[in-house]
Amino acid sequence: MRKQIMKKIFIAIICVVAMRSGFGQTAAHKFTVGGIDVVLQPTTANEVISGILFIKGGTSYLPSNETVAIEQLSLGVAAESGSTKYTKDDYQKKLNRMVSTISGSGGQDYSTMSLRCVREHFNDTWNLFTDVIMSPAFDSTEIMKAKRASITAIRSVKSNPDAYIRYLLDSLYFAGHPYSRHATVDEVNAITTDRLQAHFKELFVKSRLLLVVVGNVKEADLRSKIEATLAKLPEGTYTAPDLRVPAEASTSGFIGAEKHIPTTYIMGFYNAPTRMDKDYWPMFIGAETLSDRLFEEIRTKRNLSYAPYSGLNPNRTSVGELYVTTTLPDSAVKVMFACVDSLQKYPISEEELKGEVSQFITAIYTRQETSESQALVLGIYDILAGSYEKAEQVITAIQKVTPEEIQKAANKYIHNINFAVVGDIDNVDQSLFKSR
């Protein structure tokens, strides 16, 4: 699933570039209004307008004594509850009548409040959106529902092998790092309405905000809207958290959980370059190449697994991932490592490289991406890569990658892998993982 999400985001990046040159789309540009940074991507390609208000830092910015659950709860509840200006029912009816959406979401490196609407209803949707941010309601029923859903998700982690294996790897690889933090049932139960309101207010200070808008919107109109609303928020102070490479990245590691299931789940994390690093695109293509080889060797040729994969998870602290589910873990792991060794020992062919690059570029013509995905990509690149403009340089960067750069990156990064295994631990030769 993570690999599919990363491919969708990558395709959206390409569409930001491609659609700009046609279909009524012009270059994105950045400006500041009342202390709030704004990226606007004007387009007349359709009538949908998407806006994402990024809150820099995400749960990584939380103090160590605060539960990570509060970020998602405060944003999600506020988006469902509406503002003190309307009852919750009136708020929801207004959104439904316009077929508009307002949502909130917490994340490790950034959190978001988002809106989506058609151009005809941009004014009214913007007013509701900013009302929620400036004077949220926090309905008691919505708080109860959100807490119940959060507790259910926490309790179900161990029953979902894919979720459980990531939980274990976070606790091992990211030990002592903000990414290792997971909420507990007791922490969620202890969250009060006052705490949610206080945290929500702390999030919306101008020094932490980046607004990205994609759609048929004039800059003057957007400036006017911001000046009348979000520009009135307090300035606040923000310094990006220092998210260093975890200590476990310097050594291999292993953690296992016995579970009586027919299939063994295996996942590995290793240190990977961030979007700011010159090695990012060579390692990205290398990980995608490795993923295709794993599929060919493990599934197609040997039928050892349904969906093995390799990929990058490029956050402010990035990791590379290796994953396989199998009833024959030792055999599958040996093939996985053989594929890694091959990538490190031999440059990939020009033909294989061309195929990896073209499968993303050709996706421009086979898939129509949404304004939301473009807004998300522009914001991610501005926050995590230093500039939204880097999203528009992706095709050039990808096309410049060479087989030698991929081989060099693979050797530099794919080692000191930390593995987690969920399933029949007794059926796994743990010595296989120690040298990686």
CA 335 → CA 161, 270, 296, 321, 339, distances in Å?
Answer: 22, 18, 11, 16, 6
Question: Can you read off the two tokens belonging to residue 22?
Answer: 């046609």
State yes or no: pLDDT of 80 exceeds 90.
Answer: yes
Report the distance separating Cα 244 and Cα 367, nearest Å.
37
State residue 204's pLDDT score: 98
Beta strands in 154-263 (DSSP E): 209-215, 253-258
Q: Phi and psi dihedrals of 209, rounded to 5? A: -105, 145
Least-confidence region, from 217-226, 337-346, 426-435? 426-435
Residue 351 · residue 385 · CB < 8 Å: no
State residue 363's pLDDT score: 53
Burial class (CB in 10 A: 0-12, 13-18, 19+), 54: buried
Give residue-wise pLDDT tens across range 373-411: 899 999 999 999 999 999 888 888 988 999 999 999 999
Average pLDDT over all residues of the chain? 92
Q: Which of 154, 151, 152, 164 is nearest to 261 (CA)?
A: 164
State yes or no: pLDDT of 21 exceeds 70.
Answer: no
pLDDT confidence band for 362 (50 / 70 / 90): low
Give residue-wise pLDDT tens across range 246-270: 999 999 999 999 999 999 999 999 9
| More confident position, 300 or 27 | 300
Give residue-wise pLDDT tens across range 28-75: 999 999 999 999 999 998 899 999 999 999 999 999 999 999 999 999
Report the distance separating Cα 73 and Cα 21, nearest Å.
40
Question: What residue ranges define each of the domains in the chain, with the CATH number in brackets?
Answer: 36-232 (3.30.830.10), 250-434 (3.30.830.10)
pTM to 2 decimal places: 0.92
State yes or no: pLDDT of 356 exceeds 90.
Answer: no
| Percent above pLDDT 90 for the chain | 85
Mean pLDDT of 199-204: 98
Taking each continuous run of H as one helix and of E as one strand, the counts in the chain are: 17, 11
Residue 191 · residue 154 · CB < 8 Å: no
Report the distance separating Cα 80 and Cα 97, nearest Å.
16
State yes or no: pLDDT of 432 exceeds 80.
Answer: yes
Contacts of 135 (CB under 8 A, 6+ apart): 83, 84, 85
Q: Which residue has the tokens 């759609």?
A: 215
